[in-house]
Amino acid sequence: MEQLVVFRDRQELDPADLNGIETIARTSLDRIVREAVTSDARYAGLQVAAATVTSVSVGPGAFFNEGRVYAVSEPAPINLYENLPINHRRYIAIVASGQDDVNDRVEERDFLIDADSDEVEPQAVPMRTVRLGGVSKVVGTENIDPQVPTIPPGAILVATVLMSTSGIQSVKMHEETRLPSLKRHAERLIDLDNFRKRAEPQIGALTTQLANIADRTEDKLDREELLPMQLDLARIKERVNLPDDYYDYGSDKFTDADETDPASASGHTIAGDGLGFASVTATRALSLLNPTDPKVKRYEADWIQPSYSPKVMLEVLGESGTITMSSYQTQGADTQKAVVSRKEVKYQGFMADYVNRQLDAGRKVRRGITLADGSRGYYYITKEYKDVTTYVTVPGPVTTHTGAQLSQTVLAPRTFVMSQLGFFLAELDASGDVTVLVTKTKDGKPDLDAVINRVTVARANLIGGGETVAAIQPTLLEAGQLYAFVFITQGGHKITVAEAGSTEGQFYYGQDGAWVSTDATRDVKLKLYANKFDRTRTEVALGTVTLAGGISDISWGTDVIEPEGTQIYLEARKAGHWYTLYDHGFLDDEPDTLELRAVFVGTSDLQPSLKLGADLITLHRVGDTIEHLSTARILAAGKQNFVVDLHLTNYSPDDPDQDLTVTLKRGAGYATTTTASAEVVEDDILGTKRVRFSFNTGTPITSYKIAISGSRQAPAFPFLVLERVDVAIS
């Protein structure tokens, strides 16, 4: 209470003092109800039910208004016989209201009328005042489509009674004015909290899924961009003019050295879908400048991932009993941990796969796309190239685990990286480690040939009567995929189970080499912890790399785990400015030293990983000559007229600092050289050139090799051969 009435020894007591105690208490209670419960007019209790076909009974309850509470202590019958409609129907509203300070409990009490003689006189007086609540009816108008009558001021609607000519048709409580109870609020909060725990992973996944959608649609062509490509393809088919059954032709896009004579290997560079000038090459380690950099966490020795903290992603709530794990059959389980599919990412300098077009208005189109709108502008060739190779999953070694086997399958609510798994043991046996396997599923059951990760928790680290948290290496679980969590032990621990419904999966136990499920009503009580990353973008220093004489291009290749919607790339620092490795022209001056850093981009829920190691960074310095000899071309019949087409970038036939020659090698040991009888140069798309060399050997031959040689002088860029096509004509 905000106030207190003070009493002292031998102090005169005034009736107002005693009444003041009640006034203070009432004022405080009114304020508590008004500010903590409700200030609106509400009712509690007052349950209305039909007593007969023409009367209702209103149960005890209370009416609340501005913090004041008006009690209805006794059930109140309300007779509706006189309100029966004659022809149609009508609504009768049962309303609640209150009266303040109603005199109550009148009793006869003695009053002193003579202080000297102590003479008293009895009087009948009310001994208390009450806030009296009451219920009454408000009769509506009879109508074919009756409406609820208007509620008088100071009253609230408790229930509506629909009357027909035969009596009461229905009674409906008015929930909008009912005072919610704290008990019902607590029950609803528990339900909402359980719903939040189930729904939060799906809702939280929207950020990553939207990023995935944006990432997918960014690289898709629209109709206007695809049409020019289709037209160009039709023109190329027409220009080549080869019959459908013609087979004396070949091509090489220089994706590898399969069509290269090994004797010429030192005279050129084949990398990134192109044949380039010979280069000086050196490899460097991909490693952290600070091995204990707090912005990343290491796992499996060489893998790094941005720093994170664990957060509960999925939890099986409640508990419905326990299972003694040793009550199931003890058997050996042969498991095979698969090597997760990863991607190798390489960035190359002087490789011309990526082309930018800049319009004179300053607009840019994405790399590799050409607009067909005829806008004025110019092309230039970037000196960078990106290649992504997806590796196939390779089975790992077989490991045997012996013990009783229990499993719980779980549908991943969204894509996330898991680093901790919680399970609950009600009682512990004297011995027995617990091995936990995270596996893929086959036909809805655990697949021990596709183990994603595993961890063994020693008996000493198991928690009885609570949660045991097993730390595992970061494991990528993808949305919508069904995974299994397998528990193997030789101990008689009692594992806690709960009612099914949280996992969208099934409880299994192992028997005779198979998985058996006899109870679909329970799940193993689990907690899955997702990595909550500290940053959406993380920059990690990798140190410096050096190549004496200068670096004209750089490549790096390693395994990465790059979930959709995330990205990892390297940046190089030169003259105080950071460049991504595919920024145009930043290596034109061939610096000797570059400072490198790795950049991880994702969300707070999903980030990529990178594997460190030796000789993963390759530095190049382009030379001044190119010499390439193809493998032998074998013809089905002798021919003497040949055409060789080269598709080149960074090449200009008018540049005196560039030289290009193509010859045919034939005869014994391919020692005879045939030079081109004609050379035609044509412009191609994106600033590239098509050069056609025509040959006549004089006499038919059945085999030949193609020799490409060239040179350059500064300041000319090295040209790159994107494709070689040769045709034996006649």
Amino acid at 214: A
Largest CA distance in the chain: 159
Amino acid at 461: N
CB 598 within 8 A of CB 537: no
CB 124 within 8 A of CB 106: yes
CB 285 within 8 A of CB 616: yes
In the chain, CATH 2.60.120 covers 237-269+625-728, 308-341+392-532
Alpha carbons 248 and 226: distance in angstroms, whole number: 31
Q: Taking residues 518-531, what's their average pLDDT?
A: 90
Residue 234 reports pLDDT greater than 60: no
Average pLDDT over all residues of the chain: 83
Q: In 132-250, which ranges are continuous DSSP H helix? A: 182-218, 223-240
Strand partners, 678: 694
Decide: helix, strand or coil at residue 22.
helix
CB 574 within 8 A of CB 591: yes
Q: Taking residues 219-231, what's their average pLDDT?
A: 64
pLDDT of residue 59: 93
> What is the tens place of the pLDDT at every residue in 158-206?
999 999 998 999 999 999 999 988 888 888 888 888 888 777 777 777 7
Q: Which residues of 162-177 are buried (b: 16+ CB within 10 A; e: fewer)?
A: bbeeeebeebebbeeb
Strand segments (E) across 466-583:
466-477, 482-489, 494-499, 507-511, 514-516, 522-524, 526-533, 537-546, 553-556, 559-561, 567-574, 577-580
Q: How many CB atoms lie within 10 A of CB 270?
A: 19
CATH number given to 308-341+392-532: 2.60.120
Decide: helix, strand or coil at residue 725.
strand
- Written in H, E and C, the secondary structure of 114-128 is ECCCCEEEEEEEEEE
Amino acid at 225: E
Backbone angles phi, psi at 239, to 5 degrees: -70, -40
Q: Taking residues 147-157, what's their average pLDDT?
A: 92
**Domain 237-269+625-728 - what CATH class?**
mainly beta
Q: Give 583 or 654, the one with higher predicted confidence.
A: 654
Amino acid at 42: R
Angle at alpha carbon of residue 613, lines to 607 and 618, rounded to 5°: 100
Nearest to 325 by CA among 426, 406, 234: 406
Residue 371 reports pLDDT greater than 50: no
Alpha carbons 323 and 90: distance in angstroms, whole number: 61
pLDDT of residue 391: 47
Do you know the residue count of the chain? 730
pLDDT of residue 540: 96
Alpha carbons 310 and 262: distance in angstroms, whole number: 53
> What is the tens place of the pLDDT at every residue in 596-654?
999 999 999 899 988 899 998 888 888 889 999 999 999 989 999 999 999 998 899 99
Structure tokens, 235: 């023109």
Q: Taking residues 489-494, what's their average pLDDT?
A: 94
Decide: helix, strand or coil at residue 162.
strand
Structure tokens, 311: 């957060």
> What is the tens place of the pLDDT at every residue in 69-113?
999 988 999 999 999 998 899 999 999 999 988 888 888 888 888
Nearest to 165 by CA among 147, 143, 150: 143
Residue 294 reports pLDDT greater than 90: yes
Amino acid at 523: D
Decide: helix, strand or coil at residue 694.
strand
Residue 1 reports pLDDT greater than 70: no
DSSP label at residue 355? E
Q: Taking residues 296-306, what's their average pLDDT?
A: 87
pLDDT band, very low/low/confident/very high, at 387 (cuts 50, 70, 90): very low
Angle at alpha carbon of residue 657, lines to 652 and 660, rounded to 5°: 60
Alpha carbons 469 and 310: distance in angstroms, whole number: 11
- Express as a percent the part of the chain with pLDDT over 70: 86
Strand partners, 533: 308
pLDDT of residue 494: 94
For residue 148, how far is the Cα from the chain centroid?
Answer: 51
Going from the C-alpha of 606 to that of each of 154, 198, 203, 415, 580, the distances in angstroms are 58, 19, 14, 8, 22
Q: What is the β-pairing status of strands 394-411 and 330-339?
A: antiparallel
Alpha carbons 446 and 510: distance in angstroms, whole number: 10
pLDDT band, very low/low/confident/very high, at 486 (cuts 50, 70, 90): very high
pLDDT of residue 506: 92
pTM of the model: 0.55
DSSP label at residue 595? E
Q: Taking residues 384-411, what's their average pLDDT?
A: 71
Q: Give 274 or 631, the one with higher predicted confidence.
A: 631
pLDDT of residue 650: 86
Structure tokens, 56: 């209702």
Q: Give 248 or 357, the one with higher predicted confidence.
A: 248
pLDDT of residue 232: 66
* Weakest mean pLDDT among 576-580, 661-665, 715-719: 715-719
DSSP 319-348: --EEEEGGGSPEEEEEEEEEEPP-EEEEEE
Q: What is the β-pairing status of strands 434-442 and 482-489?
A: antiparallel
Nearest to 345 by CA among 149, 124, 569, 578: 569
Alpha carbons 507 and 445: distance in angstroms, whole number: 9
Strand partners, 69: 64
Structure tokens, 613: 């190691």
Residue 533 reports pLDDT greater than 90: yes
Q: Taking residues 564-584, what's their average pLDDT?
A: 86
Residue 364 reports pLDDT greater than 80: no
